[in-house]
């Protein structure tokens, strides 16, 4: 088994709590996750990017720890859970600002719809290929952690009032 993926035993190899988010099931999987991660950054001013990046760096191992109990013999690799956290973090911050409430509502609404369809539809919203395993729990946990930690983002560089691109 790849020593960088999230799998049973990752707690005894803590680097896996971060590295699993950098590994993917191929270039298309990585491209989808990269695009999804870039959307929140595109909606923020560049001075807010370090704060969002720092929040994701902290959330990465928390997301991994949340996923571990449900993995069983499976493994997790990909950044889709972090992308969902970034959408939630950014959506809440944008929704708090008068000038960007619509963008925040659209970001949160799109994320919520995606997670609902995956949870109750039992399938991934985005296309996948053989060997590329979607894990809806990563998206659920990512959204939940992003919403829970969104107040912290307001204290990081590029405060809430400075976050929207405007």
- pLDDT tens per residue across span 139-159: 999 999 999 999 877 665 554
Which residues have a Cβ under 8 Å from the Cβ of 155 and sit 6 or more positions away? none
Q: How far apart are CA 119 and CA 139, in angstroms?
A: 9
Tens digit of pLDDT at every position of the chain (166 positions): 687 889 888 888 899 999 989 988 888 889 999 999 999 999 988 888 898 999 999 999 999 999 999 888 888 889 999 999 999 999 998 998 888 889 999 999 999 999 999 888 876 666 666 666 778 899 999 999 999 999 877 665 554 444 455 4
Query: What confidence score (pLDDT) does residue 98 get?
Result: 81
Domain extent listing, the chain: 35-68+76-162
pTM summary value:
0.88
Query: What confidence score (pLDDT) does residue 160 get?
Result: 44
Which secondary-structure segment (H or E) carries 58?
helix 49-71
Q: ∠ CA 22-105-140 to the nearest 5 degrees? A: 40
Q: How far apart are CA 74 and CA 133, in angstroms?
A: 10
H helices, E strands: number in the chain:
6, 0
Q: How far apart are CA 141 and CA 97, in angstroms?
A: 25
Query: What confidence score (pLDDT) does residue 130 get?
Result: 64
Query: What confidence score (pLDDT) does residue 67 get?
Result: 94
């Amino acid at each position: 088994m790849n020593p960088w993926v999230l799998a049973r035993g990752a707690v005894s190899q803590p680097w896996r709590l971060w590295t699993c988010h950098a590994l993917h099931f191929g270039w298309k999987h990585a491209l989808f996750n990269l695009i999804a991660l870039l959307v929140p950054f595109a909606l923020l001013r560049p001075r807010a990017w370090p704060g969002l990046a720092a929040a994701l760096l902290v959330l990465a191992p928390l997301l991994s720890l949340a996923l571990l109990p449900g993995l069983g013999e499976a493994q997790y690799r990909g950044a889709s859970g972090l992308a969902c956290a970034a959408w939630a973090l950014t959506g809440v911050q944008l929704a708090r600002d008068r000038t960007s409430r619509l963008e925040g509502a659209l970001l949160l609404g799109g994320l919520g719809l995606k997670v609902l369809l995956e949870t109750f539809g039992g399938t991934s919203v985005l296309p996948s290929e053989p060997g590329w395993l979607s894990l809806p729990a990563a998206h659920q946990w990512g959204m939940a952690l992003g919403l829970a930690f969104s107040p912290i983002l307001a204290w990081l560089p590029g405060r809430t009032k400075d976050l929207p691109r405007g």
